[in-house]
Amino acid sequence: MAADARAVVAHHFDSPDQQREAASLGMWVFLVTEVMFFGGLFLAYVVYRGSFPHAFAAASRELDIVLGTTNTALLLASSLTMALAVRAAQLGRRLPLVVFLALTMALGSVFLGIKMYEYHHKFVEGLFPGAAFRFSGPEAPHAEMFFCLYFAMTGLHALHMVIGLGVLAVMLVLGARGRFGPLYHNPVECAGLYWHFVDIVWIFLFPLLYLVGRHA
């Protein structure tokens, strides 16, 4: 093993390749646990939407489709910048790495800002589940179930975004200090995998929550 490789490989690994493949496999396995974690919520969604299709359609129309679509586009764009950040780390290009990470964080923050605005709006309209819930359409309790799921799913997704932003901030600092290069960029790669996963969750949440009853 070359001296520069030895410097970045932990004592219990034999080579940078083994270390990188272990890190990437570990991250993928973690993402599988995340799939199952959100899976419980998706099951609840499937069961209740199957039971109360009309209430779900009516409740879904209360969501702002313009904001939802904008947020989808923002998150997709942040995935692009994230992929480019990983590429920069692989090639050991420090400035592009920092710039793309910062862009990713900026896009993610705007997403969260819009999400907060939407939440605020729902609170004001009395669409948060609980004693203060007000819904003018039919089947109010079932519509409330839709909003239970809406807040649980998007809230959990937003929490993942916040954690992701924290991870990216750490990567930004380490990247700016020049810690990553062709031999060692597993942390950026894993952070990227996580960020893309959060993007994928939203790719499914968007049609399930925002697009249900639009044609009626």
Partner 1 sequence: MVALPSETGIPPKVHYLNADYGIRSWLLTTDHKRIGILYLISITFFFAIGGLMAVLIRMELATPEGDLFQSDTYNRLFTMHGIMMIFFFLIPSIPAVLGNFLIPIMVGARDLAFPRLNLFSWYLFNIAGLFTIWALVHGGVDTGWTFYTPYSTRYSNTHVIATALGIFIAGFSSILTGLNFVVTIHRMRAPGLGWFRLPLFVWSLYATSLIFILGTPVLAITLLLLAAERVFGIGIFDPSLGGDPLLFQHLFWFYSHPAVYIMVLPAMGVVSEIVPAFARKKIFGYRFIAYASVALAVLGFLVWAHHMFVAGMSIYAATVFSALSMLVAVPSAVKVFNWTATLYQGSISWDTPMLYALGFIGLFTMGGLTGVMLATLGIDVHVHDTYFIIAHFHYIMVGGAIMGYLGGLHYWWPKITGKLYPRFWSRISAMVIFIGFNVTFFPQFILGYLGMPRRYHAYPPEFQVLNVMSSAGATILGVGYLIPLIYFIWSMRYGRHASSNPWGVVGLEWETTSPPPTENFETPPVVTRGPYEYSRSEEVADGR
Partner 2 sequence: MKTHPHTGPVVPVGVYVAVFAALLILTAMTTAAAFHDLGPMNNVVALGIAALKATLVVLFFMHVRYGTRLIPLVVAAGLFWLVILIALSLTDYLTRGWLGVPGR
Q: Between residues 62 and 144, which has the closer beta carbon with respect to partner 1?
A: 144
Residue 154 binds to partner 2 (criterion: CB under 8 A):
no
Q: Any contact of residue 211 with partner 2 (CB under 8 A)?
A: yes
Structure-token pair, residue 106: 């900026």
Q: Which residues contact 206 (CB under 8 A, 6 or more apart)?
A: 68, 69, 71, 72
Interface with partner 2, residue 169, by CB under 8 A? no
Positions touching partner 1 (CB under 8 A) are: 10-13, 18, 21-22, 25-26, 29-30, 32-41, 43-44, 47-48, 51-52, 129-131, 141-142, 144-145, 148-149, 151-152, 156
For the CB of residue 40, give the shortest distance to partner 1 in the complex, in Å: 4
What b/e string do you get for 34-71 counting C-beta neighbours within 10 Å, with b at 16 or more? Answer: eeeebeebbeebeebbeebeebbbbbbebbeeeebeeb
Q: Which residues contact 11 (CB under 8 A, 6 or more apart)?
A: none
Q: Does 121 bind partner 2 (CB under 8 A)?
A: no
What, of partner 2, partner 1, none, does residue 159 touch, CB below 5 to 8 Å by kind? Answer: none
- Residue 181: beta bridge partners? 184
Contacts 24+ apart (CB under 8 A), 153-161: 153/38, 153/41, 153/45, 153/205, 153/208, 153/209, 154/115, 154/205, 154/209, 156/38, 156/41, 157/198, 157/201, 157/202, 157/205, 158/112, 158/115, 160/34, 160/198, 160/201, 161/108, 161/111, 161/112, 161/198
Taking the C-alpha atoms of residue 205 and residue 196, their distance in angstroms, rounded to an integer, is: 14
Residue with smaller CB distance to partner 2, 167 or 200: 200
- The option from partner 2, partner 1, none interacting with 185 (CB < 5 to 8 A, set by class) reads partner 2
Answer for which of 24, 94, 122, 140 binds partner 2 (CB under 8 A) is: 24
Among 77, 110, 156, 167, binds partner 2 (CB under 8 A): 77
- Among 58, 63, 84, 161, the residue binding partner 2 under the rule CB under 8 A is 84
Minimum Å gap between C-beta 47 and partner 2 is 5
- Where on the chain is the footprint of partner 2 (CB under 8 A)? 5, 15-17, 20-21, 24-25, 28-29, 31-32, 35-36, 39-40, 42-43, 46-47, 50-51, 65, 69, 72-73, 76-77, 79-80, 82-84, 87, 90-91, 182-183, 185, 189, 192-193, 196-197, 199-200, 203-204, 206-208, 211, 214-216
